[in-house]
Amino acid sequence: MNASLKFILITLLLTQIQGNCLAQKKKNLLFIITDQQRYDAVSIAGNSILKTPNLDRLAKQGAYFKNAYTPVAVCGPARSCILTGTTINTNGVTDNDKTYYYDKEPVMAMKTFDEILTEKGYHAEYYGKWHVLTSHAVVYKNENKYAKNGKYMFDHGGQSYMYQDYLNDVFPKREPKSGELLDNFTKRPYIPDPMDVNYGKTYAQVKIENKKLSQPDFHGKSSIPKEHTITAFYAKKTINAIERLKDKPFSITTSFHLPHAPMISSAPYYGMYPAKDMKVPESINDDMQNSPYKNANGREKLTQFADKEKIKYMISNYYGLISELDYWVGKILDKLDETGLTDDTLIIFTSDHGEMLGAHGMREKNVFYEESSHVPLLMRLPNEIKANTKVDRYVSNVDLFATIMDYLQIGTYKSDGESLRDLIEHKETNHGNYVVTEWNYRGPTSPNYMIVKDGWKLMVPYTENSKVLNAMYNLNEDPYEMTNLLGGNPDGNKYQQKAEELRKNLLEWLHKNKSPHYQGVLKRKLI
């Protein structure tokens, strides 16, 4: 064999080997989830006040889902559904308590997407809030899994334990100065604003009263510098992980604690959106007389959330926390660019549920109003997801499991959701005609199911004889859900046909998911 022919054959062989290596190269996964970020808390959703250039960048480079909903309107169950691709009827995680050390009954027996990816050769790491059964955390290979006090980072608080270690090193505890109080999350001083439960009180007064407070009671300006916030902490861990893992297939989850309460932000994010300029929710004046949520989330007791002036401070802080998140998402995206991993990394950005922010005079989540159930969803995978893709169809975050399996070419695994690829590629499919969200936390003492289809929303409990009002809203004409067309509406009979249409689809969903509540929903009178 002459030298020239040998060279050609070797070149062809090397080319084939290189091609095979490229074909076998695994795509990475970067899964970013926030806590309590509502659907319109991104500027691409049409928010004219809030600026999120990096989230917009992500959406414009990939796909933006206009109508994405949480499977369950509370943290732990929603996250369990996302990780396993199953509904709460399948995974058994119906309330937050079952995401701790729950051994009373078998729950969440199926594998999470990261457990499957690990079996397929992926290196998985997780940063931030956990809030799922600790038994499913064994696959994560974080460099450090324990805080100095011995707390496991996948306990309920997630890496907040490790964050406390970090804070103690870089920003030690101190006594509050004049005008400052201590928050119960970071144990660091902050200046309260008018939404704070202790606004106008001195630190000495607060200590004497010694009231038991929850995180949503705290609002104001943090003393913690911006480079040492919990959001910065998680983001820096993520950036470091990308650098370390750039030469191996990885799945990295970044679970930001914020914008969940306490809504205490650091400069420059505090005051970035002046309170006086905030838009008060249109539904803040809802008298709720024909609502199934008349006293939900302490509405009648926590009157400050229906105060048009006070609520502006909450919105201002919430937007500041979102802008901080956006800044760090930008830094994470920059690291992917820097390491040459952008084209090979599937990014999913979403939240577990929304936040009422004074809508209907409420705070937090747990209800089926849009502010609580409707969430942001963005995806990017260059070369496979076209830039500027907009998906208007209805999707649930329970679909993300199947979507990850699909785009990472892992295979088909049992799931209650469906891959979003056909919707992203605008192919003909029945998927996305409607979406269902659940809330079975306290039984039929409030609506248990919500279905949205064609801009109409139906809410019903799961028993025939529950005294909870049925509710239906025409979101096309009533986007703030002020007029319940059922319940005590004297003209409710006019809307029975539409309500029955929605119930038919809900029953279809309940049957598909083998729900024990099928008969209860079937027999319920829609008046």
Mean pLDDT within 370-378 = 98
Residue 437 lies in a domain: no
Residues 130 and 235 in one domain: yes
Query: pTM for this structure?
Result: 0.94
Residues 330 and 472 in one domain: no
Residue 81 lies in a domain: yes
Residues 239 and 323 in one domain: yes
* Number of structural domains in the chain: 2
Among 398, 429, 460, identify where a domain stops: 429
Among 429, 454, 471, identify where a domain stops: 429
- The answer to whether the CB of 398 falls within 8 A of the CB of 71 is yes
Residues 415 and 448 in one domain: no
The string of pLDDT tens digits covering residues 68-117 is 999 999 999 999 999 999 999 999 999 888 888 777 888 999 999 999 99
Contacts of 326 (CB under 8 A, 6+ apart): 51, 52, 53, 54, 55
Residue 195 lies in a domain: no
CB neighbours of residue 278 within 10 Å: 21
Residues 256 and 366 in one domain: yes
Residue 133 lies in a domain: yes
Give the C-alpha separation, 450 to 376, whole Å: 18
Residues 420 and 447 in one domain: no
Residue 470 lies in a domain: yes
Instruction: Region of 46 please: left (phi>0), alpha (psi -120 to 50) or beta.
Output: left
Return mean pLDDT, the chain: 93
The string of pLDDT tens digits covering residues 160-180 is 999 999 999 999 999 999 999
Residue 318 lies in a domain: yes
Where residue 492 sits, what CATH number does that domain have? 3.30.1120.10
Residues 448 and 333 in one domain: no
- Residue showing tokens 């030469």: 247
Residues 380 and 448 in one domain: no
At residue 103, the pLDDT reads 76
Give the C-alpha separation, 453 to 435, whole Å: 7
Residue 185 lies in a domain: no
- Please report the DSSP string for 285-338 in residue order: G---TT-TTTTGGGTTT-GGGG-TTHHHHHHHHHHHHHHHHHHHHHHHHHHHHH
Residues 352 and 460 in one domain: no
Cα angle value 158/298/193 (rounded, 5°): 70
Mean pLDDT within 461-482 = 96
Using 50, 70 and 90 to split pLDDT, how confident is the model at 295? confident
Residue 266 lies in a domain: no
Give the C-alpha separation, 438 to 502, whole Å: 15
Among 429, 456, 487, identify where a domain stops: 429
At residue 1, the pLDDT reads 54
Where residue 107 sits, what CATH number does that domain have? 3.40.720.10
At residue 6, the pLDDT reads 54
Residues 393 and 463 in one domain: no
Residues 247 and 320 in one domain: yes
Question: What is the extent of the structural domain holding 309?
Answer: 29-146+228-260+272-429
DSSP alpha helices (H): ranges in 341-420? 370-373, 400-407
Residues 283 and 403 in one domain: yes
